Structure 1
Amino acid sequence: MRIGLLTESGGSYACGETHAWCDRLVRGLTGHDFEVYALDRGTAPQSGPHGLPERGHPARTAPLWGELPDAYRWWPAGARVRAGRRVRRRFARHFADLTAAFCGAPAEPPDRPAKAAEARGEAAVSGGARPQADRFAAGLYGLADLARSDGHLPELLRSETAVRTLEAACRAPGVPAAARAAQVSDLLAVTEALEIALRPLSLDWYGDGEGGRHEVTEDGGQDGGQEDRGLGGVDLCHVTSGGPAALAGLLAKRFCNTPLLVTEYGVRLREHYLARGAAPLSTPVHALLAAFEAALATETYRAADLITPGNTRIRRWQERCGAPRDRLRTVYPGMDAGPFAAVPDAAADGSKALVWVGTVEPEKDLIGLLHAFARVRAAEPEATLRIIGSPAEGPEPAAYLAHCRTLAAQLFPDEAADAVTVGESPVSFEEIGDPGLPRPADAYEAGAVSVLSSVVGGFPRTLVEAMFCGRATVSTDVGAVCEAIGGTGLVVPPRNPRALAEACIALLGDPARRARLGAAARARALELFTVEQNITAFRGIYLELMAHTPLLPAERDVDGAPRLFARTAETQLPGPWSAAGQASGPQDRGHTPSWARPPAGPDPAGPRVPAGVARTRGGGDA
């Protein structure tokens, strides 16, 4: 089976919480052939993501910065003609639908009731106003068709027509005040950001009936490349995050009828909110871009064949954005348990060592942890705290670490003054690689209880590592902590040093309970959070999606000969899926499963697979 892996990054497959799972997935599923498609947000062009697996195909990349070079376009410069008045009218109509939908303009009367449905390849719904989601889909896929038929979409998105269309959408009655207050500078900033976000519409990643990207021959004609069909030649698109990468998957589904699987181990929409909130942008720009991202997320979840969130917290975000519950399936991120397998379970002894492991930054609330440890020290004079980690990149984390060191010296002045070495102080600041800590597993082995004090977070990787080591944990209730811990550790509210201290004191004073929780934590982590369970889950999901995908419409080769395996064997056997089975009795009529039925009618967008490409949608590793 050929898998198109779509991601948004310039330096790795994915970023943040999912920095390594794509690589492990590609290496683990040896029965499939992966092709990586990366959208690069770097500051310089790159040939492909770093760390490409040995058995993966060289990645195809496209820049999400600067101008879009002709080398990445569906229509190169030599094949494009000047955008005439007709093209600009088409662009204005589709862009008006797109902007009106995410600006929050009231739903328009159904002057073209079948427009949105046709753009999505669905049956038209008569009567009533068009929902905003349908208007957004109509505008989005209309712009995609325009990009494939003309090739001037990047220039049109930066044109005066785009600015005036966006201004009209912002000035429409019923639009929120934040969008209505947009000035000309705000409109220019939004259109520039939209050109970047909609850049996948103009890429040469999608095959069509012509066979691929349009190339200009010496005599001025066009040659559709048959060797490289891009996403038109894969059996399944696996999107590793939302945003522009998901947009590429939507177009592959529309143009090539390719099944779409969306995996999110970090909520792309939430990350957008946080990133835009810290950016020096005006309120109207914030509001308009956030509304666009929300509309794109809604369309992504609505069109995906299956959505796999990394935890329940992400699942709730997706449900609020319109993801159907019957298409949601939680798949926890896989972590390598091998480095922690040799760590013995915590002994039921009198150890009083607390360990914190992670990247030092303000969100980890080490200030609160130090205040909590002052209470622990008053109740357990022999308790020690080892803070193991280096500051994150940037000046702020380094300054935060220096502030934590100063606070520790102020809270424990006598011990710090009498200490000859760092180890003699009740609080130590260390890094992996220091003497006695050559590996991450050594950090967890050094403590009796592992502590997490964050005030924000996603999937708690360091907490799961402590569980792999068989350590009892005390954690703050942020992100997916409760879901990861289950009943194998203590969870307290964030920003509450008193509660954090009381939980630590309870475990330090009860070695037997500490040992029981540590053993249960290791068993839970090995059951739910290993690389093996992640790979097994996606292997089954891939086969399931292929088994439930309808057959391709074309069943003959270009020369008219029957295409081998174009019709599955089930259609030749008696049963509710065959014509013979339906005629055998009234109770069997009308029960043909959706995956065995041919398409309901001709596709309004034309053929969606390259002509002459023999490909079936049955299960198995093709």
Structure 2
Amino acid sequence: MRIGLLTESGIPYVGGDAGSWCDRLVRGLGQHEFDLYPLSRGERQEAEGRLPLPSQVTRVRTAPPRSPGRDGVVYGRRARRRFAECYADLVAALCAPASGDVPAEGRADVPGEASTGEADRFAGALYALAELARDEGGLTGALRSETAVHVLERACRAPGAPRPAHEARVPELLAMAAHLERALRPLSLDWYEDDRLGAVDLCHAASGGAAALAGLLARHFLGVPLLVTEYGARLRAYYLTDARTSPPVRSLLAAFHGRLAAETYRQASVITSGDAQVRRWQERCGAPRHKIRTVHPGLAAAPFAEVGEAPERGDPDTLVWVGRVAPAKDLVSLLHAFARVRAQEPGTRLRIVGGPSGPEGAAYLAHCKTLAARLFPAEAAGPRTAGGNPVSFEETGGPDLPSPADAYAAGAVTVLSSVVEEFPVSLAEAMLCGRATVSTDAGAVPEVLGGTGLVVPPRDPRALARACVALLRDPERRARLGAAARARALELFTAERNIAAFHGIYLEIVSHTPVRRVVLDAAGAPLPFGAPAEAHVPGRWAHAAARGRGTPGWAADAPARAAAPAPAAEGAR
């Protein structure tokens, strides 16, 4: 079959948020064809390059970043009036109070609590704006116009609007309008045609938000079934957003993404979550339980096989932390805990392996190095030396730690100290390496470990130190926990299991979806039974159906499709 994979800065870009698992998925399903529709972050991401793609990728169509107000579309009077009416309905649905109690300040309504009427109003306004963008050639300029700001202001000042929205000032209204314009950019794309997303058998959105919105519009305009995968709760991120963002802006963003999530879940054929925590958020936002499947992120097990099969490898007196340095990882508590560990086990070392995550992470890393120097004044908190440093800050890629597997192998116990965590990839990697682990009870950590490691409360250095000392003093227990952790990771968290799960979901969705394509003969007349239901199944009937295809959509991407073996590709589709 032919899959339209919708990503937000993911594959084919290097270092995209969803790039790794999407790349493994595409490469692992060689019997299918993939059309990639990535939403680009901008020129910088384009300059970083793209991943080499396998032959089953038949098309890559990127959404270029638009300059605000420069889409070249000029609305007439009737179109301006139509936009004002549709946009007013959209923002009124965002500013409407939930049924029941008025939400607390700084917190937007949870869509699951909203009335059906407001949900329908939001969906109707969203599709009406999409149809307007399709008729007029774009929506960017209208969304950044003064009309949009005035409509937004009226909605925020309306009776019953949430208090944060009601108190919004002019700078906050402008910021709200800018955020909504960015969130609604998929409405202005030219993807929703028969020879683009209309040519795929199903759309797979690799995340919520903008990627899911593009799939939602393909479902609305073209009837293409939609699969939504979320390895993190997008709405949760807006509740926990940076405190520097004002409450009115946070309120509006959370309301928009909540309403969008509810409509996406309502229209999707299947919804997948990476863990139980994301599943709970999905259900809270209105996702029907019968649509949700849990598909854990798949990791490549081969790079960790050598370390996992040699559990005795590693310094028995070393703790290892691996990840991207950020405040949510709470390395401060880890350093305080390590000071307690050193008091009981003076020969113990701590190796912190990982680079900073953005400017905030760089500042936090500098703070942690300063704290380490203060906690251990006799030894500078720098690279590990022959004389022995209790704490070292390192990155993989050097001669000492050439790969993440070598980082986990450097110690006897792997530590995770986060206060906020989604799916803990570093913890799953440590399990594949057969390491005993001490982790804080954050996010999906207990679900991932399943009893194969020690779990302590977050922000509790005393408990963290006690668990680390217990494992450092008991090598037999470390070996038992490490073996159990590796067996669990190989059973649940490998790329092969992830790929097999999605392959089954693809077949499930297509089996309930009628063939939508109208096949034309050489004269341009409809060809009855030109695309029968069996066209989804490899075999001679699929090849016969393929020979009758004459729609513009199939001819448009002929050069890209020529790279793949024709018989296998046609049969798979």
Q: TM-score, normalised by structure 1?
A: 0.77
1:60 aligns with 2:64: no
The count of aligned residue pairs is 527
Change (3 A) 1:492 1:612: same
Superposed displacement of residue 500, structure 1: 0.6
> Whole-Å Cα distance in 1 between the matches of residues 394 and 517 of structure 2?
62
In structure 1, what is the equivalent of residue 572 of structure 2?
621
Superposed displacement of residue 230, structure 1: 0.9
1:519 aligns with 2:483: yes
Superposed displacement of residue 446, structure 1: 2.1
Amino acid at match of 2:316: S
In structure 2, what is the equivalent of residue 131 of structure 1?
117
1:529-588 CA distance string (max 9 Å, x none): 11111111111111111001134396886525423343569xxxxxxxxxxxxxxxxxxx
Contact 1:83/1:152 (8 A) holds in 2: no
Contact 1:64/1:197 (8 A) holds in 2: no
Q: Which of residues 532, 537, 541 in structure 1 aligns to 2:501?
A: 537
Q: Which of residues 127, 133, 143 in structure 2 aligns to 1:157?
A: 143
Contact 1:350/1:511 (8 A) holds in 2: no
Contact 1:349/1:511 (8 A) holds in 2: no
Superposed displacement of residue 470, structure 1: 0.8
> Whole-Å Cα distance in 1 between the matches of residues 397 and 140 of structure 2?
49
> Whole-Å Cα distance in 2 between the matches of residues 328 and 420 of structure 1?
47
> Whole-Å Cα distance in 2 between the matches of residues 22 and 11 of structure 1?
6
Q: Which of residues 84, 95, 98 in structure 1 aligns to 2:90?
A: 98
Q: Which of residues 167, 177, 180 in structure 2 aligns to 1:194?
A: 180
1:491 is paired with a residue of what secondary structure? Answer: strand
What is the correspondence of 1:99-118 to structure 2 with a 5 Å cutoff? 99-104=91-96
Contact 2:35/2:58 (8 A) holds in 1: yes
Superposed displacement of residue 434, structure 1: 4.2
In structure 2, what is the equivalent of residue 500 of structure 1?
464
In structure 1, what is the equivalent of residue 450 of structure 2?
486
Superposed displacement of residue 472, structure 1: 0.7
> Whole-Å Cα distance in 2 between the matches of residues 478 and 463 of structure 1?
12
What is the correspondence of 1:107-256 to structure 2 with a 5 Å cutoff? 131-151=117-137, 153-208=139-194, 229-256=195-222
Q: Which of residues 360, 368, 375 in structure 1 aligns to 2:333?
A: 368
Contact 2:70/2:141 (8 A) holds in 1: no
Change (3 A) 1:564 1:446: same
Q: TM-score, normalised by structure 2?
A: 0.83
Superposed displacement of residue 249, structure 1: 0.5
> Whole-Å Cα distance in 1 between the matches of residues 131 and 315 of structure 2?
70
1:470 is paired with a residue of what secondary structure? Answer: coil
> Whole-Å Cα distance in 1 between the matches of residues 215 and 249 of structure 2?
26
Contact 2:315/2:411 (8 A) holds in 1: no
1:436 is paired with a residue of what secondary structure? Answer: coil
> Whole-Å Cα distance in 2 between the matches of residues 89 and 405 of structure 1?
58
In structure 2, what is the equivalent of residue 606 of structure 1?
none
1:408-443 CA distance string (max 9 Å, x none): 3443445779x9935523333333244432222222
> Whole-Å Cα distance in 1 between the matches of residues 19 and 453 of structure 2?
26
Q: Which of residues 294, 317, 325 in structure 2 aligns to 1:330?
A: 294
> Whole-Å Cα distance in 1 between the matches of residues 161 and 420 of structure 2?
33
In structure 1, what is the equivalent of residue 541 of structure 2?
none
Amino acid at match of 1:357: V
2:224 is paired with a residue of what secondary structure? Answer: coil
Change (3 A) 1:466 1:560: closer
Structure 1 unaligned regions, length at least 5: 71-76, 108-128, 209-228, 570-608
Change (3 A) 1:515 1:170: same
Contact 2:84/2:147 (8 A) holds in 1: yes
2:439 is paired with a residue of what secondary structure? Answer: strand
1:293 aligns with 2:244: no
In structure 2, what is the equivalent of residue 263 of structure 1?
229
In structure 2, what is the equivalent of residue 563 of structure 1?
529
Greater share of helix: 2
> Whole-Å Cα distance in 1 between the matches of residues 380 and 167 of structure 2?
57
> Whole-Å Cα distance in 1 between the matches of residues 527 and 325 of structure 2?
65
2:356 is paired with a residue of what secondary structure? Answer: coil
Change (3 A) 1:409 1:155: closer
Change (3 A) 1:152 1:490: closer
- Please tell me the root mean square deviation across aligned C-alpha atoms, in Å: 3.3
1:284 aligns with 2:248: yes
Superposed displacement of residue 87, structure 1: 2.5
Contact 2:11/2:22 (8 A) holds in 1: no
Superposed displacement of residue 356, structure 1: 1.8
Change (3 A) 1:48 1:143: farther
1:329 is paired with a residue of what secondary structure? Answer: strand
Task: Choose 231-240 or 263-272, whichever is displaced more.
Answer: 263-272
In structure 2, what is the equivalent of residue 305 of structure 1?
269
1:346 aligns with 2:311: yes
> Whole-Å Cα distance in 2 between the matches of residues 204 and 68 of structure 1?
18
1:578-621 CA distance string (max 9 Å, x none): xxxxxxxxxxxxxxxxxxxxxxxxxxxxxxx997879xxxx982
Superposed displacement of residue 513, structure 1: 1.4
Contact 1:345/1:518 (8 A) holds in 2: no
1:378 aligns with 2:343: yes
In structure 1, what is the equivalent of residue 352 of structure 2?
387
2:426 is paired with a residue of what secondary structure? Answer: helix
